[in-house]
């Protein structure tokens, strides 16, 4: 990152990482072999669906093993990510993100108006990706976004594309399990992703930080996605807000497993049965850390609202509909530029 004024990174006291952290009990670990092995039994799938349902309800976060994504692919992408970020700032800036496209490199992201101690490379899962031109709800214009590809490492684009395919497969499997756990048809949520997606993969690089007690790698936030699949390296940093204790729980590094979290869109579809849970990443003064989230998003013009099957007279819809792409764009704009207002949050769409 560029030498910058330390003050930009300083978190409000209540957001600083030194507050008590619950270590004892971690997020649930779920074995996906019933849906990744060749001949699963119905009873093992039923049990898996129940596990997923309670993890989504109680934590909004879980870890998956036997997920079917080749470990070599993940290692290769982490390696490529390290190679990319180890270049000079000047090299990295050749593929800088700009306001016309969310894809590319940048080191200036804000979360809730405070700078994150990180560098990022964003890559769209689909090319082109159809996206609104502005976040204004009355503006119907749509644009086509494409990716920026670094020259180095040379195989970057191939690896990232191969990895995205694996992420998508896993995301569809998880969506089926989540749908079933909500009592829906297994393919109920698939339709939202078939007309297009705004899914995005992000390479996160958290350099060592000289003042880790007052800054954060990524400030507390909820993901705007339907769900997120996170690969993290062997350095810890991710913390999840425990839903009932409201304390930060450190997630142990998971070099072979993936961390899954429910995003804002599932929260709305499920009419709050499953909530998008706040999380953040802390940094440390010695080690660098790499993580790779894949954010699974439906087509930009998807009208997100509670599903009919999950609402009735007794439990009416808790949200007014919103367009997935408009919400994402509005958040992206606010993460790019410091604003005077709090940035957009899913509770803005909540009906009183
Ligand atoms: C994110 C995120 C956590 C991490 O990028 O949205 O929550 O551990 N990252 O890097
Ligand atoms: Ni996140």
| Residues present in the chain in total | 352
CA 41 to ligand 2 centroid distance, Å? 34
Domain hosting 229: range is 3-349
- Residue to mutate (ligand 1; options 238, 280, 328; most atoms within 8 A of CB): 238
* Interatomic CA distance for residues 185 and 176, integer angstroms: 8
* Cβ 218 under 6 angstroms from ligand 1: yes
Q: How far apart are CA 49 and CA 184, in angstroms?
A: 12
**For residues 103 and 30, what is the distance between their CA atoms, to the nearest angstrom?**
32
Residue 334 structure tokens: 């606010």
The CB-side HSE value for 66 (13 A sphere, CA atoms) comes to 11
Could you tell me what percentage of the chain is helix, strand and coil, using 3-state DSSP and rounding each to the nearest 5?
A: 30, 25, 45
191 alpha-carbon distance from chain centroid: 20
Q: Which ligand is nearest to the CA of 236?
A: 1
pLDDT at 191 over 80: yes
Rounded Cα distance between 228 and 137, Å, is 25
Other CB atoms within 10 Å distance of the CB of residue 314: 5
Q: Which atom of ligand 1 is nearest to the CA of 120?
A: 5
pLDDT given at position 33: 95
Listed in sequence order, the residues at least 6 apart from 88 whose beta carbon sits closer than 8 Å to its beta carbon are: none
For range 243-254, the mean pLDDT: 89
pLDDT(132) > 60: yes
Of 324, 7, 336, whose CA–CA distance to 189 is shortest?
324
Q: For 74-127, what is each residue's pLDDT tens digit?
A: 999 999 999 999 999 999 999 999 877 789 999 988 777 789 999 999 999 999
Nearest atom (ligand 1) to Cα of 217: 10
By most ligand atoms within 8 Å of CB, the mutation choice from 107, 225, 230, 276 for ligand 1 is 230
Atom of ligand 1 nearest to the CA of 261: 7
- Closest ligand relative to 217 C-alpha: 1
Q: Calculate what percentage of the chain has a pLDDT beyond 70.
A: 94
pTM across the whole model: 0.94
Q: How many domains does the chain have?
A: 1
Number of Cβ within 10 Å of residue 318's Cβ equals 16
**Ligand 1 lined by 252 (C-beta under 6 Å):** no
Nearest partner of 193 among 259, 265, 254, judged by Cα: 265
Report how far residue 23's alpha carbon sits from residue 207's, in angstroms, rounded to the nearest whole number.
24
Distance CA 182, CA 271 (A): 11
In this structure, which residue's CA is closest to atom 5 in ligand 1? 293
For residues 242 and 35, what is the distance between their CA atoms, to the nearest angstrom?
Answer: 28
**In angstroms, rounded to a whole number, what is the distance separating the alpha carbons of residues 241 and 216?**
15
Q: How far is the CA of 203 from the centre of ligand 1 (A)?
A: 9
232 lines ligand 1 (CB under 6 A): yes
Any ligand 1 atom below 6 A from CB of 254: no
Mutating to test ligand 1, I would choose from 27, 203, 204 the residue with most ligand atoms within 8 A of its C-beta, which is: 204
Quick check: 68 pLDDT over 80? yes
Give yes or no for a cis peptide into 153 (omega within 30° of 0). yes
Atom of ligand 1 nearest to the CA of 223: 6
Q: Which of 99, 299, 104, 284 is nearest to 192 (CA)?
A: 299
* Angle at 325 (CA atoms; ends 321, 327), nearest 5 degrees: 60
Q: Is the pLDDT of residue 167 over 60?
A: yes
Computed over every residue of the chain, the mean pLDDT equals 92
Tens-digit pLDDT profile for residues 36-48: 988 878 889 999 9
Say what angle helices 71-85 and 156-181 make with each other, to 10 degrees: 130
- For 123, phi then psi, to 5°, come to -140, 125
CATH number at residue 78: 2.60.120.330
Over 50: is that where the pLDDT of 327 sits? yes
Q: Which of 50-54, 165-169, 215-219, 244-248 has the lowest mean pLDDT?
A: 244-248
Question: In 115-209, where does DSSP find H-type helix?
Answer: 156-181, 191-194
| Pick from 63-72, 112-121, 265-274: least confident | 112-121
Q: How far apart are the first and last CA of the chain?
A: 43
Rounded distance, CA 29 to CA 67, Å? 12
pLDDT given for residue 42 in this prediction: 84
For residue 225, give every residue at least 6 positions away whose Cβ sits within 8 Å of its Cβ, in sequence order, or none.
199, 263, 264, 265, 295, 296, 297
pLDDT for the residue 319: 97
- Whole-number Å distance, alpha carbon 293 to ligand 1 midpoint, is 6
Q: 312: CA distance to ligand 2 center in Å?
A: 31
pLDDT interval class at 24 (50, 70, 90): very low
**Whether residue 251 has its Cβ less than 6 Å from ligand 1:** no
Closest residue to atom 10 of ligand 1, CA basis: 291
**Lowest-confidence range among 17-21, 203-207, 277-281, 289-293?**
17-21
Q: Is the minimum distance from the CB of 111 to ligand 1 under 6 angstroms?
A: no
């Amino acid at each position: 990152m560029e030498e910058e004024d330390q003050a930009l990174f300083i978190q409000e006291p209540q957001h600083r990482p030194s507050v008590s952290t619950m270590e004892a009990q971690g997020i649930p670990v779920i074995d996906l072999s019933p849906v990744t092995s060749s001949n699963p039994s119905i009873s093992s799938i039923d049990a898996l669906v129940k596990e997923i349902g309670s993890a989504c309800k109680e934590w909004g976060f879980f870890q998956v093993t036997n997920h079917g994504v080749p470990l070599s692919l993940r290692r290769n992408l982490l390696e490529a990510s390290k190679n990319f970020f180890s270049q000079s700032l000047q090299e990295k800036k050749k593929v800088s993100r700009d306001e016309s496209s969310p894809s590319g490199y940048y080191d200036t992201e804000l979360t809730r108006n405070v700078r994150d101690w990180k560098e990022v490379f964003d890559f769209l899962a689909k090319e082109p990706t159809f996206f609104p031109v502005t976040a204004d709800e009355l503006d119907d214009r749509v644009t086509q976004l494409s990716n920026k590809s670094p020259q180095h490492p040379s195989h970057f684009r191939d690896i990232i594309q191969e990895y995205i395919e694996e992420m998508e497969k896993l995301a569809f499997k998880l969506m089926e399990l989540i749908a079933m756990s909500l009592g829906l048809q297994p393919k109920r949520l698939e339709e939202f992703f078939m007309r297009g997606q705004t899914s995005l993969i992000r390479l996160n690089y958290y350099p060592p930080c000289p003042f880790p007690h007052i800054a954060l790698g990524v400030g507390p936030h909820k993901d705007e996605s339907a769900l997120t699949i996170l690969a993290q390296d062997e350095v810890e940093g991710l913390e999840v807000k425990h839903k009932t204790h409201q304390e930060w729980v450190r997630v142990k590094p998971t070099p072979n497993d993936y961390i899954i979290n429910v995003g804002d869109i599932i929260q709305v579809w499920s009419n709050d049965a499953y909530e998008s849970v706040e999380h953040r990443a802390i940094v440390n003064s010695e080690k660098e850390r790499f993580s790779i989230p894949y954010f699974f998003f439906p087509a930009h013009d998807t009208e997100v609202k509670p599903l009919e099957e999950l609402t009735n007279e007794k439990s009416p819809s808790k949200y007014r509909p919103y367009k997935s792409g408009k919400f994402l764009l509005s958040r992206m704009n606010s993460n790019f530029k410091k604003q005077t207002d709090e940035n957009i949050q899913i509770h803005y769409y909540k009906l009183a």
